[in-house]
Amino acid sequence: MGLFDRFKKPAVNEDGQQVVKVTVDGGYQPETVRLAKGVPAKLVFERVSDKGCLEVVHSPELGFEAELPLNQEVSFDVKTDQRGEYDFACGMDMFKGKVVVK
């Protein structure tokens, strides 16, 4: 990995899971979540404002769909056994983010 690579390793919790927080505030921050292949992972969404139409987050590719109550963390386990890019989006697919596993 070069000096200018912006990949930051996600924190790993006591269960050995990569944990990435995604703040939902008129969009997804970060929009791109980078995960290391082969390490169990968890995405933690927290919607902190009413901006946009982001009450629901879903990902057919990653196999989750849920409502995001304001100011509550909602977590999903994410498989990392295959390299690839996997999209997630609001209920109407207007706001998008993605998970990159490599």
Task: Please report, as ranges, the residues that interact with Cu ion according to CB under 5 A.
Answer: 53, 90, 92, 94
**How many whole angstroms separate alpha carbon 84 and alpha carbon 99?**
8
Burial class (CB in 10 A: 0-12, 13-18, 19+), 8: exposed
We find the least distance from the C-beta atom of residue 52 to Cu ion, in angstroms, to be 6
Q: Which two tokens stand for residue 46?
A: 């927290």
We find the least distance from the C-beta atom of residue 11 to Cu ion, in angstroms, to be 29
We find the least distance from the C-beta atom of residue 100 to Cu ion, in angstroms, to be 22
